[in-house]
Amino acid sequence: MEETISLRELFATLKKRLKLIIIITLAAGLISAIISYFVLTPVYQSSTQILVNQSKDGQQLYESYQIQTNLQLVNTYTVIMKSPAVLDKVKEQLDYQGSLAGKIQVTSEQDSQVLSVTVQDSDPELAAKIASTTATVFKSEIAKIMKVDNVTILSVAQIPDYPIKPNKMLNVAIALVVGLMAGVGLAFLLEYLDNTIKNENDIEELLGLPVMGVVAKVDGNANPTKQSKLGLRKTRRETYGA
């Protein structure tokens, strides 16, 4: 016989395990908050933009093929900016001992000669210094490497006020949702694994036999005559025929 679960039974299970669900949900949110606020290191981001053009004299006009050539060189500029020829000088100027390659990201918009230099670091002031120094050193070194002296720094890197990650509120919200789902899932799992007999229907399903009668529980402190009448009525109400 196929078992079916009604909405009433679902809500009864949730109500029965409500305390467990709330505890798991709050615990997940609390753990996420502690990790986000006190364990994870905040990361700050600062960026600057550079415009790179080929050398030109005062009377030379830009033709379409010249612009196309500049666009094709953008990838080359990106590689040079993250090369030791540039980053070693940046480290020297900042007296920085760690690795910079993993902190710096150089990107460009499609069909654009503008390079965006983005730096991420746990120190907001250092992130801004690395971005600004990288742009300055690149402007100096690219003139020697590729004879390009038409480099313009469009924006100066600013010290960020707030970290970009971790997103503390988002982490807590996700943890609460996950905790709620885990709590509900555990509640239904415990209910599924609970093999105790709760009512007459469970006996019928277990034995495959109809219930002939129910023995009422008698309270020793109650009036025997009154209790027997109540038990008799309850027995008649809950007794099933063979």
pLDDT in tens, 141-165: 998 888 777 889 999 999 999 999 9
Q: Name the band, by pLDDT with cuts 50, 70 and 90, for residue 240.
A: very low
Q: What is the model's pLDDT at position 205?
A: 65
What's the average model confidence in pLDDT over 82-98? 94
As annotated, the residues of the chain forming the CATH 3.30.70.1130 domain(s) are 44-155
Confidence category of residue 185, pLDDT binned at 50, 70, 90: very high
How would residue 238 be classed by pLDDT, with cut points 50, 70 and 90?
very low
Long-range contacts of 198-201 (CB under 8 A, 24+ apart): 200/238, 200/240
Average pLDDT over all residues of the chain:
82
What is the rounded radius of gyration, in angstroms, for the C-alpha atoms of the chain?
A: 36
In the predicted structure, residue 82 carries a pLDDT above the cut 90: yes
Q: Where are the beta strands (DSSP E) in 60-175?
A: 104-108, 114-121, 150-155
Residue 168's alpha-carbon distances to 123, 124, 146, in angstroms, are: 18, 18, 45
Q: Which CATH architecture has domain 44-155?
A: 2-Layer Sandwich (3.30)
Contacts of 46 (CB under 8 A, 6+ apart): 118, 119, 124, 127, 128, 130, 131, 157, 158, 159, 160
pTM for the predicted model, two decimal places: 0.69
Section 29-41 average pLDDT: 96
Distance CA 14, CA 124 (A): 47
CB 49 within 8 A of CB 117: yes
Q: Does residue 130 contact residue 103 with C-beta atoms inside 8 Å?
A: yes
51 closest CA partner among 104, 101, 117, 100: 117
